[in-house]
Amino acid sequence: MSRGGDWAAASTDHIMPAAGAAGSTEKLGQASPARKSRRTLWILLGLVLTVLVVAGAVVGGLVAKNVIRVGTRPAAESSSSSSSASSGSSDSGGAGTATSGSSPSSTGGSSASQATASSSATSASGPKPTEAACTKPSEIPSSAKGTWTDPTSWLDMTDFNCTFTDERVGGLPVVGLFSDWDDSARANPNVPPLNKPWGSYDDRPIRGVSLGGWLSLEPFITPSIFDGAVDEYSLCAKLGPKKAAATLEKHYATFVTEDDFKSIAAAGLDHVRIPFSYWAVAVYDDDPYVFGVSWRYLLRGIEWARKHGLRVKLDMHGLPGSQNGWNHSGRQGKVDWLAGPDGATNAKRSLDVHDRLSRFFAQDRYKNVLAFYGLANEPAMSLDQDALIDWTAQAYKIVRGNGVDAPQVFSEALRGLPAWAGKLTGYGDKLVIDVHEYTIFDVNLIKLAHADRVAFACKTFGNQIDTSMDPATGFGPTMVGEWSQADTDCTEYLNGVGNGARWDGTYSGMTSPACPTADKRCSCPKANADPSTYTSDYKRFLLTWAEAQMDTFEQSWGWFYWTWKTESAPLWSYQAGLAGKFLPPRAYQRSWSCSDSVPSFGSLPEFY
Ligand SMILES: *[C@@H]1O[C@H](CO)[C@@H](O)[C@H](O)[C@H]1NC(C)=O
Ligand SMILES: *[C@@H]1O[C@H](CO)[C@@H](O)[C@H](O)[C@H]1NC(C)=O
């Protein structure tokens, strides 16, 4: 049963529920006298507005005859993203050249969004987006006042359209978006701008990074927020609705900013994977999650990706009931999705969430920037595979049926790529399997010596991928949706609060360290040392280990590093790797590949 915070349900009300405003379901038909007279006022106001809009459209139409370049930014502005990406000379021919294919839709979509899109497309050539007239608090309809669709209540207005609108697509609010968009940027000179086809991912792999811990929180990425809570659910429950909303909105507004997208493009990456969770668009029962606020940050993030020529993989990280019982699904503990007491209900809710999301993301404005649509991150290994296949097929049908053309992505669900040979066939290049490759959650792999770890990435990961990519032996289209440079499991909170680590043998149930030397010389405090203390031998290892993985994973449709930034886990942070020079400054310019021999790492000890 959906609580007040469900936009699809809310759209029949004229109440936009705020996070925590449970049961605010006043129906229009039950309006009080005061509301009725207010309504009369609104009708009058509506008439006046209609006259203004008609007049505006006429003027706009005249303007449009002289202004042909709708939907393109001035060259000077759009080239800034490429110049930021260039320190090498070959980088300078980047964004801002192509101009076609970026004009707002004039076909399809609802008539309401139609009118909005076309009338503003003409005006967009006049005032710049940042000059949009902001709706004043007194102008926000009472039904939206104080809710999360009320722009006058937003913490951060950067690059948000501050004009209130009630408009929705697929039941989801468009408020905050500018009507116009521009797909002419490209991430770097080696990849096409957004408005040109990428081509086959077999030939041109993804080089990407995830924005983990941003819209779906994770304790090891931002331990400072958690303060003892084990997951987003318990954090929100502990803080209560008001404080949770304030804390999370501050996090959304500050943890990832436009600068991050700019730096991601500058690092030679071309895709971003954006994890988010269902409470961006719905909450159920007594969910304590902050409803809706992450939605507009997701939309703004996509616009920033667009601005810097980055293609987006949407990644559904938390589904109702939790698809894996892990903290990054929102709620740690049990899986209540497909299986469990409410498993069937939550599976259905998940399909409903995908129904709305896919109607929204089928809009023309997402056709070029949305490269992949992820259905469910890491469903539990314990789930019945046939049930998972059935759910995936249903979700695929809904999303595709709603007009999302981007390939959809499903997880190998921690049962290994071979388990998917011959399953979910018949989708061609429109369904991709996602595998996450780590060597530290397994006592047999964590003990690999440095040179062996590099060789393992080239050979064993390589074989897994080759086998999976060939439809005769595996599923077919494959991507590596997560990997990192972690060579120990020592990162704080990675294994849970107070759970210890495999590396030094403090993990529950272990009697001796699983590090390569298997002795007391292995220490997590040492392994967690600050990157400024890394020796050049260790950095050479980390760089080689990363380049081995990149090289290997590019035999698939490509890769997404996990993750872009962390508070204190440098081997899980692309940003830290760039700063510490143990990742290549340009992902497409590398110094080592698997066809080279493994370099010497000097006197680098196998323990730390
Ligand atoms: C801002 O949003 C309003 C409401 O959706 C829209 O009509 C207007 O065109 C937008 N402004 C710009 C500059 O895109
Ligand atoms: C979060 O989940 C991961 C599993 O992905 C687990 O290893 C870790 O212990 C959990 N963190 C906390 C703080 O419980």
pLDDT at residue 256, as a whole number: 98
Q: Which helix (H) or strand (E) holds 353?
A: helix 343-361
Span from the CA of 162 to the centroid of ligand 1 (angstroms): 8
* Closest ligand 1 atom number to CA of residue 178: 14
pLDDT at residue 133, as a whole number: 82
The number of the ligand nearest the C-alpha atom of 164 reads 1
Q: How far is CA 61 from CA 269, 371, 560, in A?
A: 40, 33, 44
Span from the CA of 325 to the centroid of ligand 2 (angstroms): 10
Q: Is the CB of 149 under 6 A from ligand 1?
A: no
Q: What is the DSSP letter of 230?
A: -
Span from the CA of 228 to the centroid of ligand 2 (angstroms): 13
Q: Is the CB of 56 under 6 A from ligand 1?
A: no
235: Cβ contacts below 8 Å, ≥ 6 apart: 217, 225, 226, 227, 229, 244, 247
Q: What are phi and psi of 131, to 5 degrees?
A: -95, 10
Q: Is the CB of 117 under 6 A from ligand 1?
A: no
The structure tokens listed for 156 are 């951060």
582-598 pLDDT, tens digit each: 999 999 999 999 999 99
Q: Is the CB of 326 under 6 A from ligand 2?
A: yes
Q: Which residues of the chain have pLDDT under 50?
A: 1-37, 54-127
How far is Cα 542 from Cα 430, in angstroms, rounded to an integer?
A: 34
Q: Is the CB of 496 under 6 A from ligand 2?
A: yes
Residue that is written with structure tokens 């397994």 in the block? 442
pTM of the model: 0.81
The number of the ligand nearest the C-alpha atom of 160 reads 1
pLDDT at residue 93, as a whole number: 30
Span from the CA of 494 to the centroid of ligand 2 (angstroms): 6
pLDDT at residue 313, as a whole number: 98
pLDDT at residue 49, as a whole number: 55
User: Among the residues of 67-110, which ranges form H helices?
Assistant: 75-78, 80-85
Give catalytic residue positions: 378, 482
How far is Cα 359 from Cα 171, in angstroms, rounded to an integer?
A: 8
